[in-house]
Structure 1
């Protein structure tokens, strides 16, 4: 049944979904018009909100670009390529490949969202080189695991409210992760997704005639081996294993101290540092790393051009009052039992325009937390409703898919038809979990 349902969804998306750059331009126009129409903002004010926010994600954009590049370089190193190929060898059939990549992506994304985005896509490519399987669904399955990130160890909202000094501490105090990430209802949602999502993806597998395959040669990693014919002194440095190890190994030593002595955790900076240090060591020579780097940067164009536009949209949504009005609308129709569910729905809508967990919480917390207190709702559960809503509609919003698509060499329209089915299924599971677990 899912195969039959997914087929028209895929065709619909392939026909009508524009390039992600066009998508962000349309979202910009929609957000601007909505701010003028519903919030009575003047055109000049909206333009000012947009321009003031346009460069607000520069640091984050660079972090995301490095997630893509360092992850690609690490995966193209000889030891990691061998490891991924060996793991990919566990899949003996197209169905096995789909299930395996979904489980790997879910696990990696639950540990750390940046780690999950890159590992899922790179493992999918390794599978595609060994198993003849629909490449679009394979990449969509790799991306689908990202839906659990905000219920996992790197969830920005539950970690924020568990950190002393957070901006709502005077209102709600410190809420430990035992009430959010490790609560019974959250763990049940995560466990349900781990069971159901691999099956859903497998059931969407097209038949032989409708499948789209990829030539393994087209997704092979660049040959980064260096020539032994070294003639110039500069070439000796470019092919020096010692030079790479003198930099890469101290990087790993720093990370060991950071994790095991200083008690640091996984975040974008530590993940990127880990990927880069391992890539330097595993490639052995600067020349090998640079060959991989030149290939990796080709996929970063979407991140570079689109993330500033999303920052501009966030500026409009946050400063015009649009995001707050949306949150107030859903809070006004809720009661103590249903507020987590309506928080989830409102966050899913806001996420289309503000695809940032931290930024979204800054907008919705001032509305949802007073509503939770007034209604006597579970504050921790309401916060997790916002967190899950932020993660849920990433299956529809191409913002977070850009690194995955760049690694895979696909367009958003290639996978979003499958993602629509995943969106519906995960929406039902999460809604039930927040409402009844």
Structure 2
């Protein structure tokens, strides 16, 4: 049944889904028109909101870019690459390859979203070298594991509210990750997705005559070139001692942060951890810099599109459109259904503001008073926003950009399969938020 459903979904998306840059331009126009029509804003006022807010997410954009870059550098380090090669050898046939890449992507994304995106894409390429399998579904399976990221260790909403001095601290205080990431209801959702997402991907596997294969020779072998040192400067660039003199103290600092000072996880700590692990595992500065050059290519879309999303967010917030949308969806919510409607509203808002932290800034002023009025647990509502943000990333092509860049595909190649996952995971997450 899922194989039959995936055929029209793939054809529909291939025909009508534009490039992610076109997508953000269309969303900008839709947000502006809606602000004028629904909120009765003047075109000049909307233009000013958009222009004034265009650079409002520069700090957050840099944090997100560093998550991607440091995750890429860690995933492409020689020890991690060798681990991926050994794991790829475990795949027995096309079905096994689909299951394996999904499990690896889910696990890596739960640890860190940037790490998960990159590991999934690199692992998909490694599997495609060894197994004859539909390359579109293989890459889509790698990306589908991304759906768990906001319920994992690098979730920006739970990490934001766990950080001292966050913007809503005066209202809700600091909420530790034990009440969000490691809460029973959240772990239950993660477990359900770890079971369902791989099985759904496996059941969508097309017949061989309908599959799209890739020549393994086109994927490259990623072999490291031998370095010939002829200058003193090159000796420093290839010095293991120099890298470790900085990298190892960085890791010691993290040991002190976590175990001696009782520090917690936040975006800066996650980036610090992945950066210094990458420095140590790459062994030489030259190896790290080579990886960095590749990582930056995957982040090109983030650099150019994030300002547009900041502008959209400014329109949504300042015009009152985001509040109107959220309030409309939660206005008829009860104590039981508020997490569900929060999840749905977050999924819709995510299409316009595909940024977990940015989206929390948009929706928190609406959702927190609603939760307090209905007596709903704040951590559950916060995680409903987080899951809504992660959920519609299966439809919003923005975060697929790094995966597509590594795999050499376009959004239309994989989003048809992701559309089926969107429907199924939406049901599972809704059940977890409402009943667990």
Tell me the TM-score normalised to structure 1 length: 0.91
Deviations 1:214-234 (A, max 9, x none): 233333354433334x43334
2:131 maps to 1:128: no
Deviations 1:121-172 (A, max 9, x none): 2222222222222222122212212212222333333344455654445544
1:174 Cα deviation after fit: 5.2
Residue of structure 1 in register with 2:409 after alignment: 410
8 Å Cα contact 2:10/2:417 also seen in 1: yes
Describe how 1:145-156 pairs up with structure 2 within 5 A. 145-156=145-156
Aligned residue pairs: how many? 436
Q: Structure 1 residues 265 and 209 mapped into 2: Cα distance closer, same or farther (>3 Å)? A: farther
8 Å Cα contact 2:322/2:349 also seen in 1: yes
Q: Structure 1 residues 149 and 77 mapped into 2: Cα distance closer, same or farther (>3 Å)? A: closer
Deviates more, 1:357-366 or 1:58-67: 58-67
1:325 Cα deviation after fit: 0.4
Residue of structure 1 in register with 2:230 after alignment: 231
8 Å Cα contact 1:49/1:316 also seen in 2: yes
Query: 2-side partners of 1:356 and 1:77: how far apart?
Result: 27
Secondary structure of residue in 2 paired with 1:214? coil
Deviates more, 1:420-429 or 1:96-105: 96-105
Query: 1-side partners of 2:267 and 2:174: how far apart?
Result: 24
Query: 2-side partners of 1:354 and 1:316: how far apart?
Result: 11
Secondary structure of residue in 2 paired with 1:401? helix
Residue of structure 1 in register with 2:62 after alignment: 62
Secondary structure of residue in 2 paired with 1:188? helix
Q: Structure 1 residues 94 and 267 mapped into 2: Cα distance closer, same or farther (>3 Å)? A: farther
8 Å Cα contact 2:68/2:114 also seen in 1: no
Query: 1-side partners of 2:357 and 2:153: how far apart?
Result: 15
Residue of structure 2 in register with 1:399 after alignment: 398
Residue of structure 2 in register with 1:183 after alignment: 183
Residue of structure 2 in register with 1:330 after alignment: 329
Secondary structure of residue in 1 paired with 2:210? coil
Residue of structure 2 in register with 1:109 after alignment: 109
2:324 maps to 1:311: no
Residue of structure 1 in register with 2:74 after alignment: 74
Q: Structure 1 residues 379 and 270 mapped into 2: Cα distance closer, same or farther (>3 Å)? A: closer
1:333 Cα deviation after fit: 1.9
Residue of structure 2 in register with 1:358 after alignment: 357
Residue of structure 1 in register with 2:367 after alignment: 368
1:176 Cα deviation after fit: 4.9
Residue of structure 2 in register with 1:261 after alignment: 260
Q: Structure 1 residues 146 and 95 mapped into 2: Cα distance closer, same or farther (>3 Å)? A: same
Residue of structure 1 in register with 2:298 after alignment: 299
Deviations 1:342-394 (A, max 9, x none): 11111111111112222222222222232233334444433332222122111
Secondary structure of residue in 2 paired with 1:18? coil
8 Å Cα contact 2:154/2:267 also seen in 1: no
1:267 Cα deviation after fit: 4.2
8 Å Cα contact 1:351/1:389 also seen in 2: yes
Query: 2-side partners of 1:166 and 1:291: how far apart?
Result: 36
Query: 1-side partners of 2:176 and 2:67: how far apart?
Result: 29
RMSD after superposition: 2.5
1:244 Cα deviation after fit: 3.3
Secondary structure of residue in 2 paired with 1:129? helix
1:413 Cα deviation after fit: 1.3
8 Å Cα contact 1:72/1:122 also seen in 2: no
Q: Structure 1 residues 172 and 304 mapped into 2: Cα distance closer, same or farther (>3 Å)? A: closer
Residue of structure 2 in register with 1:389 after alignment: 388
2:202 maps to 1:205: no
Secondary structure of residue in 1 paired with 2:132? coil
Tell me the TM-score normalised to structure 2 length: 0.91
Q: Structure 1 residues 249 and 175 mapped into 2: Cα distance closer, same or farther (>3 Å)? A: closer
Residue of structure 2 in register with 1:345 after alignment: 344
8 Å Cα contact 1:137/1:201 also seen in 2: yes
8 Å Cα contact 2:75/2:115 also seen in 1: no
Query: 1-side partners of 2:342 and 2:89: how far apart?
Result: 42
8 Å Cα contact 1:115/1:271 also seen in 2: no
Secondary structure of residue in 2 paired with 1:209? helix
Q: Structure 1 residues 238 and 331 mapped into 2: Cα distance closer, same or farther (>3 Å)? A: closer
Secondary structure of residue in 1 paired with 2:140? helix
